[in-house]
Amino acid sequence: MSDDLVTEYAGDGTWSEESEWDYADLEADGEGEAHIAVPTLAVVGRPNVGKSTLVNRIIGRREAVVEDIPGVTRDRVSYEANWAGRRFLVQDTGGWEPDAKGLQQAVARQAELAMGTADAILLVVDAVVGATTTDEAVARVLRRSKTPVILVANKVDDGRTESEVAALWSLGLGQPYSVSATHGRGTGDLLDEVLEKLPETPREGIPGGGPRRVALVGKPNVGKSSLLNKLSGDERSVVHNVAGTTVDPVDSIVELGGRPWRFVDTAGLRKRVSHASGAEFYASLRTKSAIEAAEVAILLIDAHEPITEQDLRVLSMVADTGRALVIAFNKWDLVDEDRRLMLDKEVDRDLVRVPWAQRVNISAHTGRAVAKLVPALDTALESWDKRIPTGRLNTWLKEVVAATPPPMRGGRLPRIMFATQASTRPPTFVLFTTGFLEAGYRRFIERRLREEFNFDGSPIRVSVRVREKRDRKGR
């Protein structure tokens, strides 16, 4: 089925041949293809040596947030890469500081976790500065690791810096590979070496053809990273009482309900993308990309505060991408009876766009009811993947239209001749008619579809294609 089949009718959809009405039931649209597990390359090193710039060079696009300020990257972030026909994940990390305290100590733990789970490691050193005591401390840790390690001398922009690279043999990690992440110098040879070191499959393979992809979204400081840590039982994301600690989307495999899930902890959106700047602008773009790459989103809303414009902006972003949705009202342990009554009114007023979304009341801090998220996710994804056979759909639709015909338009009663489900993810239905259907009647059809076929947790789309008889004499 061509993509234009599911385009919303704009007044120019016409059919002149009866054969164009003969659409059989469609096969799955390919979105559900198995996600083959691929090996992971971790990029580690002290702050401001150019790790994120190198990651962007390897993956061939500007994904990792880069600024001249040290410490912009704080969590482990994974991106898909492809070199010479081989796919692998590149994991960017926060700077590794052995004596770090506070927030930087949490960042250092992320880098150490990456070293423990990756299939190969790139240690990035600033060739201009040379090997520092921090680099030597990292090298001591890596020499004890069984994971293959490649030493990268970054910022070698010309031959004058090349002479400084030889001194890095002292780190005991073998040959240092000279590159300029900014200009791309030497990265091809480096990637050839990466493919030599990376195994064909990861040491921790993912069963079942790949986990379902979940985006954790919401405004800053609503508890997204705390929820991810509670679900995983580990410190997967950096948590700090400073709003906006997460800058990049943080990609983690979490075992829930006896199977793996891929969770992405995203940056909280403070401003519209058009109003943001610097790291916040790119973080906003990364959050949008994370939602588009996910199958279902968990929108966290602070239950003990009024629903804000920021909450609704994130909600619109999820709804516009057509992803399945679970709304988790976090910090429920702080909600009293008066607040519950007020929240009910806010939900009726502000969340009217997504009455179909699954809702769960949780506390990421205490762990209250977080186990209820898995059934809610399962329900939403089942609806998102659901396909209704064409015969059953048209039998049901005939009964609905007979009981409640569409309103007349221009003195004529439009007839619905045929319907088909054009795609899943989200479920998209196309009605072939003899006249345009009013928006109110399309909403009526959508509501009846939900009642009959139970699409809880998933958006559904109803489009209309109108067949207008042409004057055959003019041919």
- Enumerate the known binding-site residues for GTP: 45-52, 92-96, 154-157, 218-225, 265-269, 330-333
Here the tokens at position 268 are 């909280």
Spatial distance between the Cα atoms of 159 and 244, rounded to a whole number of angstroms: 41
Residue partners of 447: CB distance under 8 A and separation at least 6: none
Cβ(248)–Cβ(71) below 8 Å: no
Measured CA to CA in angstroms, residue 156 lies from 90, 118, 122, 161, 177 at distances of 22, 26, 16, 5, 10
Which residue reads 């926060």 in tokens?
A: 94
Query: H-type helices in 98-165, by residue range?
Result: 103-117, 133-143, 159-165
Distance of CA 12 to the CA centre of its chain: 35
Here the tokens at position 67 are 């600024």
Cβ(295)–Cβ(214) below 8 Å: yes
Cβ(43)–Cβ(93) below 8 Å: yes
Question: E strands, 74-199, where?
Answer: 77-83, 86-92, 120-126, 149-154, 176-178
Spatial distance between the Cα atoms of 390 and 2, rounded to a whole number of angstroms: 17
User: Which residues make up each annotated binding site?
Assistant: 45-52, 92-96, 154-157, 218-225, 265-269, 330-333
